[in-house]
Structures are given as structure tokens and as C-alpha cells.
Amino acid sequence: MSATSASLRISASSLRAHKRRFAGTFFAVLLGVSFLAGTLVMGDTLRSAFDTMFGRATSGTDAVVRSADAITTPGESFGTREPVSAALAEKVAGIDGVAAAQPDIQGRGLLLGSDGKPIGGQGPPTLAGNWIADPQLNAYQLAEGRAPKSHGEAVINRGAAKTGDLKIGDSTVVRTPDPLKIKIVGISEFGGEDGMGQTTFTGLTRADASKYLVPKADEAASIQVRAGPGVSQQELVDALKPVLPKGVEAVTGQEITEESQEQISGQFLSMFTMMLLVFAGIALLVATFSIHNTFAIVVAQRTRENALLRALGATRRQVVGQTMVEAVAVAVVASAAGVVGGIGIAAGLGALFPAVGFPFPEGDLVIKWLSLVLPFVVGLVVCVASALHPAVRAGRTAPLAALRETAVESAGASRTRMIVGTVLALAGVALTVYGAASGPSVMLTSTGAVATLAAFVVMGPVAAAYAIRTLGAPLRRVTGRLAKQNALRSPKRTAATATALMIGVAVVSLFTVFASSLQTTMNQTVSRSFAGDVAIQASGFGAGPNGLSPKLAPAVAELPEVDSALGLGKGVARIDGSGRELTVTDPARMPDVLDLGTVEGSLDGLGTTGVAVSEGEADKRGYRPGSTAEFTFTDGTKERFTVRAVYAEDGIAGDYVVTRAAWQPHQLQDSDTVVAVGFKDGVSEADGKAAVEGVAKDYGNPEVQTRDEYADSAAAGMDIMLTLVYALLALAILIALLGIANTLTLAVHERTRELGLLRAVGQTRAQLRAMVRWESLLVAAFGTAGGLGLGAFLGWALVKASDSAGTGAFSVPPVQLTVVALVGLLAGALAGWRPARRAARLDVLRAIATE
């Protein structure tokens, strides 16, 4: 028999005899690979579903005529284009090769449900447009009812109907932004789906769309064109180009489909999938520590066995190979099971997201070979790499170790470890602090954060000894003191076990601190810059896509309870080459309801060529009162604007403020995003709010909020983000707990004789269970405390590094972090439950006789 086959047989025997030893490793790899595979499969499935949906929706459109230029502001995907003449459709329809051409009029239209509340509106666009009669050119297909024919009739998409509890024959209101009462006569689908994600669409008659959605009745967002028989899309575009006016382009329907796929499925899904992959990476990183710890303990337990093999002639390579064969075997089986589990996770997520308000398109699972092979390889590499160091250590076992009675494992921390850990810690903290405080620099901060995390891992055994002594100091009973000594017996093991939990808790703490800081920053911004008593919100803080009627603010201002009511709208322009968002209002009245801080220059008399600029933006671009800037609007008009004022507080006012008179010639769909209202002296908040709500009902019933409610709404999105983060990180915490439980189970096995002797000298089963549970709790407390400290520090660094303006606030939420700490401790107690029961069930005589 060859040495290789003998080694394989020994490995197979060891795996069969000690299956429980590798249970924790198996599940750690299984969970990590499952999440990774599920993420990749779901990403492929959603991407395919979106592509199919857009392909169906635009399949009948062969060309689109639209404005050639688009102004895109930071954080925006689509950009804003100038309308084209609706009459252009008739001219295009007369060109050879054109079968049909229809104007596509689009704008914002916030649909109200049967309860009078907006449908969607917290981010996804709420659209309205003319119902295109040609079914092949209409991206929406009529599923029920009929097309709108008369004033006030409308078709809504099925998703909006379900969310708003609306049906054919119901009457409701769509804010365009002026409220338009509509009667639902039809239900539509988009590419065979209920809608385009959470986007709502209201299809109106052409006359209503022209009246309510565009500033001029003869304008349209684009012209949809269908080719005649035998005419290709490119041939159609080539035929259209010569007759189009300057600044107008024709693009193929395929290009439009690809743009939509890139903007929706490409950008959104790439970001969404990348976020899930980050959490899958965290889960696998946590699994790495659990796997390494398992093999380290197994190797320590098999010291005599490996020494006997060496004494009988086995080489170091064979001993190393035996351990690595076991690692590969566990990795292959667990990774294969994880890939299968990932397909199940993808199917589950596909059903879960629509249930929680994310109606992704339906479709069969798309399983590509890369989405199966990559997670399998990653699981294999993680498991094998984690077992490599313990395997090498096993190969170094001396033959004389067979004469020892117990397993031998290095307990202390080497001087090299202390030196390397100290250097890493100093460098990591220095880089993190410098990157966060000076610049700031996200790259430097990220590099420092990685070095700091590495320092925590390297210094773990050193810190473990001090931490366990400190955390275990209050434990006065014998069981508590024995638990502390057991945890101190192998600082490396304790540190590796706690590190897995520490990483999970650190990431949870980091996001908690970061979200809390953003919430505090938003609250402070609103509280600092909003000087009114109530605010009328369009829908959600910022409310870019959905607006309020510009007539609302003047109507509110006429109330006897109101001293001042100012509407703030939004516009876009390219300023000195960069797309920028404009605040459209009456600048002279802004100080009545907004605190702009120190104002250099004057807000009076901006007229049609003046602009007020925030101090931060002025410093970046070198503006001062009297400076000029070139504005390019969506209609292609270029104008020189003079900076009349520079204000310090840009929280609600934004970076650029112009008058309505300056924006009116270039506006697309005039609206306000918020109306700030100040009451007269002596008017109570309750009375004033009630009066404002009475007027707001006639303008689509937008939400009226007090100062505190307005400030809270600014940060409401953070709570949704945190909920998702906690749910995703639960997997990493679960893997960490499996690692603690597996380590304790193996430690109980390792200390079988010792536990039997303790029972023999009088320790009860309850005391033995308590000892093991206290050990688990101490390890969990060490990992939780380290994770909280690391997470808070890195959270501070992330807040500072991402705050280029220097106006952000750092906030540590004590309640949330206390909950995180309690969850970590409770998890530790649960992790020790099964090992404690197993230890208490040991037969005393057999345990004493164990070698």
C-alpha cells in the first residue's frame, strides 16, 4: 500500500469516526456559500427578468425622437431632457418607412389610494402621461377595462391599483402637481408585470396630459415611432435624422431598451447585488475564523495520534496531507450543499421581496454556471485556507509527543505576535484618524480600517487574557472561576472564537453608529435651517419626483392663522459645465421661514439673472457677490447669472437659489417640494396645523408636519436601511454562534477526563452546566465588547470620511448599542446551551477512564 493511499484511508477513518467534530465547520461553510450562491443566482434572475420586462414593453417601438441633450445632477441616473414639439409626430408620420408615430407626454403624477394617501412616493417615481392609442408603441398594455376617452378618465397600472385598493369605476385624485380628479376606466401592465417595480403610472387623455403635465400644450417628452414592414430600426433612424430640427435626435428602440435596462437593472441591481455580496463576504470571513478554530482544536486533540504516526514512519507531508484531505472533504460536501441551498435562498428571496414591498418582476430562476462554480470554489478556498495553518502545525508534531498524556497546544502569545499586532494597531488607527480628520479621504480611512481589523485579529490572544480576567473578575463562585480559567487556558482559541462574533457585532455597530449619525445630522440640519412652524411635504424628505401645486403656498398664506407661507420648488441647470439642482422660490422671503445663517450680499432683487449660492458651493467654485456663472437650461438656452448673495446654511435651501421668474421660461412641470409655513404670534401649533390641513385637502391632501415631525421624516429612510442591514448580518452572527458552540463542544470532548474528575470530587451536573455556559458567556462578552468598540471607532471614521462638507454630526445611540450588546451576550448563552448539556451527561467513570 502506498503512503498516499494510507494517508487517505486514515483521513477517511478519522472523518467517519469524528463526524461531530466537523459539524460546525460544515454548517459555517454551508451558510456562507448558500448566501453567496443565492445572491448571485438572484442577481442573474432579476437582471434577466428586468431585461425581459423592458424588452416586452418596448418591443413595438422601433425609434424614439427626443432632445439630444440631458442634464444629469449628482445622484441622478436618468437626467432631464427638454421636451420636443408634439406636432413633430405628424411630420415624422409622413416619412417613408414610418408606420406610426405618437407623441409621448410624460410628467409627475402622484396617485392617491382609496384612503386618500399617496401610493408609493417615498423614492420610486410616480409618473403620469398620455395613453398612447397605438398598442405597439405604448409601453403599458391594457389588461382590464378600456382606454381613457374623456376628460378625467384614466388608466392606472395594476401594481398601483393593488397597493391603493383601487378598481375600475373608482374615483381618486392624481397630483400633477395640481390635483386632478380622475375616474379609473382601465388597468394596465408593463411588460407583462404589474408595473415597473414600485413606480406608478397614470395614463390620461392626450388633452389632460397636455394641460396638466407640460408647460406648453404642444410639447411632448418624446415621439414614439414604429417602422413599416421590411424597415429595420437603423434604417428608420437614418431616414428620420435629416428631417429633425437642431437639438433633436433619433435613436433606435433597441438603444432605448438598453438604456432602460442599464439605468434600472444595471445600476440599481448592480448596487443591490454588490450590497448583498458584501454581507456574503462578511459571513464567509466570520466562517473563516470558525473553521480555523475547529481545525486548530482538532489538531491539538490529535497530538498523540499524529505523534504516533510520526513515530511509525509517517513524514510531515503525510501528516499535513491527512489534515488537508479532511478539510477538502468537508469543504467539497459543504460547498456543494451550499450551492444547492443558494438556489433555495434565491427562490425564497424572490418570494420575500414582493411580500415586503419590493415587487421585482416575476420570472423563472436563471442559474448560470458562474453563479454555481464561483461560490463552490470560494467555499473550497475558504475552508482549505482556514485549515492550512493548523495542518502545518500538525506536521510539526514531534514523535516524542506520543509519550505525553494530554494534548498539547501553545497557550501563550508570542513576542512576534505582540510586535506585529502593535505595529498594525498604531498604523491602522493613525491612518484611520488621519483619513477621517484630514481631507477627508475615504481611501485612507478604509485602508486604516482594514489594518485596524487585522490588528484586532493578531492581538486577539494578547487581549483575550486581559479581557477574560477583567470580565470574569465579578465571578466569585467556583463554577465562574473555573469557567474563567478554562477560557484563559488557550488565549488563541478564545480569541479566534470571539473574533468571529466580534466581526459580526462590529459591522452591526458600525452601521448603527453611521445611521444614527446620519439621522442626527439630518435632524440638526432641519432644526437648524427650518424656522417655520409646520411644513407641507410632497412625499418623503426631498421629494424630488413628486411635487406640490405652486398654488398651495399662496392659498395657505391667506389663512388668518398664517404669517408666512413659502413654497420651494426644484429646477435643474448645467452651471459652468456641471449639472446642478436649483431651488426655485422667492429668495427675499426665505428668511421668514428658513434660517440661512450669515448672508453676504442681498437676497432682494435677484430678478431673472441673479442667483444666491451656499457658502460651501461658493468656496468650491470661487464665487463671491458679483461673480458670474454660465447657466445652461434643458431647453438649450445659455444665460449669464450674477451671484447676488452667499448664505451660510444650505440645509433646506440647497446650493443654488433662483427666482420663479428666472426659472419660468425653462420649467418643465412647475411644482414645489415643500411649503414652509410660519404662524402668527399667539396661534397654537395645533390650531395652525389644523387650519393648514384644511387648505391642503383641496390640493391632493399632502402631509402637514410639525417641526419635529419634519425633522424625523428627514431621517426615516435610515430605519429601513438598518432593518435590512440587521437582517442580512443575522447570518454572520449565526455563523459566529455556530463557531462558539462548536468550539465549546470540542473543548468538552478534549476535557472529558478533567470533567469526569470534577464530577468525581463532588461537582454537580448543574454546576458543570453552569461552568460551560459561563465560559461561553465570557467568550461572547469578549467578542461583543471588542465588536462594539471597533464598530463605534470605525463608525466615527466612516462618518467623518464621508462628510466632505464638514457639517455632519457623530452620534452614538446608547439604546441601540445596548440592545446589540445584550443580543451578543444572549447569543453566547444560547451557544453554550448544547455543549453544557452534553458535558453534564458524561458518565463519570467512563470520563475518568478516557485517555
Give pLDDT tens digits for 228-267: 998 999 999 999 999 899 889 999 988 988 887 777 666 6
Q: Residue 1 — very low, low, confident or very high, per pLDDT cuts 50/70/90? A: very low
- Interacting residues of 88 by C-beta distance below 8 A, sequence separation 6+: 65, 103, 220, 223, 244, 245, 248
Q: Is 398 helix (H, G, I), strand (E, B) or coil?
A: coil
Task: Please state whether the predicted TM-score (pTM) of the whole model is above 0.85.
Answer: no
H or E element, residue 222: strand 222-227
What average pLDDT does this structure show over 823-851?
Answer: 71
Q: Residue 289 — very low, low, confident or very high, per pLDDT cuts 50/70/90? A: confident
How far apart, in Å, are the Cα atoms of 263 and each of 45, 78, 148, 157, 279?
17, 7, 30, 21, 24
Cell (9 digits) for 662: 428666472
Short-list 236, 241, 270, 239, CA closest to 253: 236
- Which residue in the block uniquely carries the three cell numbers 470560494? 378
pLDDT score at 225? 94
Dist. CA 544–CA 569, nearest whole Å: 9
Judge contact between 731 and 283, C-beta under 8 A.
Answer: yes
pLDDT score at 385? 84
pLDDT score at 450? 83
- Which residue in the block uniquely carries the three cell numbers 407661507? 565
pLDDT score at 463? 81
| Crossing angle for the helix pair 491-529 and 716-750, to the nearest 10 degrees | 170
pLDDT digits (tens, 9 = 90+) for 712-732: 776 666 666 677 677 767 777
What average pLDDT does this structure show over 43-57?
Answer: 78
Q: Is 566 helix (H, G, I), strand (E, B) or coil?
A: strand
Judge contact between 106 and 221, C-beta under 8 A.
Answer: yes
Q: Is 705 helix (H, G, I), strand (E, B) or coil?
A: strand
Torsion, Cα of 64, 65, 70, 74 (10° steps): -20
pLDDT score at 20? 59
Cell (9 digits) for 188: 394596465
pLDDT digits (tens, 9 = 90+) for 404-457: 544 444 555 567 777 887 888 888 888 888 888 776 777 888 888 888 888 887
Short-list 549, 568, 529, 565, CA closest to 692: 565
Dist. CA 693–CA 706, nearest whole Å: 12
Judge contact between 126 and 120, C-beta under 8 A.
Answer: yes
Judge contact between 25 and 290, C-beta under 8 A.
Answer: yes
Cell (9 digits) for 532: 417655520
H or E element, residue 580: strand 578-585
pLDDT digits (tens, 9 = 90+) for 356-397: 555 566 667 788 888 889 989 988 888 888 878 777 776 676
Dist. CA 390–CA 263, nearest whole Å: 48
Q: In whole angstroms, how large is the CA radius of gyration of the chain? A: 33
pLDDT score at 544? 44
Domain boundaries defined on the chain:
60-254, 463-533+708-851, 539-701
Judge contact between 517 and 802, C-beta under 8 A.
Answer: no
Judge contact between 82 and 245, C-beta under 8 A.
Answer: no
pLDDT at 592 over 90: no
H or E element, residue 145: strand 140-145
Report for 493-497, 771-775, 844-848: range of highest mean pLDDT: 771-775
Cell (9 digits) for 592: 421668514
Higher-confidence residue of 581 and 325: namely 581
Dist. CA 681–CA 299, nearest whole Å: 79
- Which residue in the block uniquely carries the three cell numbers 483619513? 435
pLDDT score at 407? 47
pLDDT at 841 over 90: no
Q: Residue 614 — very low, low, confident or very high, per pLDDT cuts 50/70/90? A: very high
Judge contact between 562 and 695, C-beta under 8 A.
Answer: no
Least confident stretch, 149-163, 481-495, 724-738: 724-738
What average pLDDT does this structure show over 640-659?
Answer: 90
In terms of phi and psi (left: phi > 0; alpha: psi -120 to 50; beta: otherwise), the region of 358 is: beta
Cell (9 digits) for 259: 438604456
Sign of the Cα torsion 650, 654, 656, 662 reads: negative
**Average confidence score pLDDT of the chain:** 81
What average pLDDT does this structure show over 814-829?
Answer: 84
pLDDT digits (tens, 9 = 90+) for 12-44: 555 555 555 666 677 778 888 888 888 888 888
Dist. CA 496–CA 464, nearest whole Å: 10
pLDDT at 320 over 80: no
The answer, yes or no, to whether the previous bond of 177 is cis (omega within 30 of 0) is yes
What average pLDDT does this structure show over 572-576?
Answer: 90
H or E element, residue 185: strand 179-190
pLDDT at 787 over 80: yes
Dist. CA 593–CA 344, nearest whole Å: 54
Cell (9 digits) for 282: 462578511
Burial of 357 (0-12, 13-18, 19+ CB in 10 A): exposed
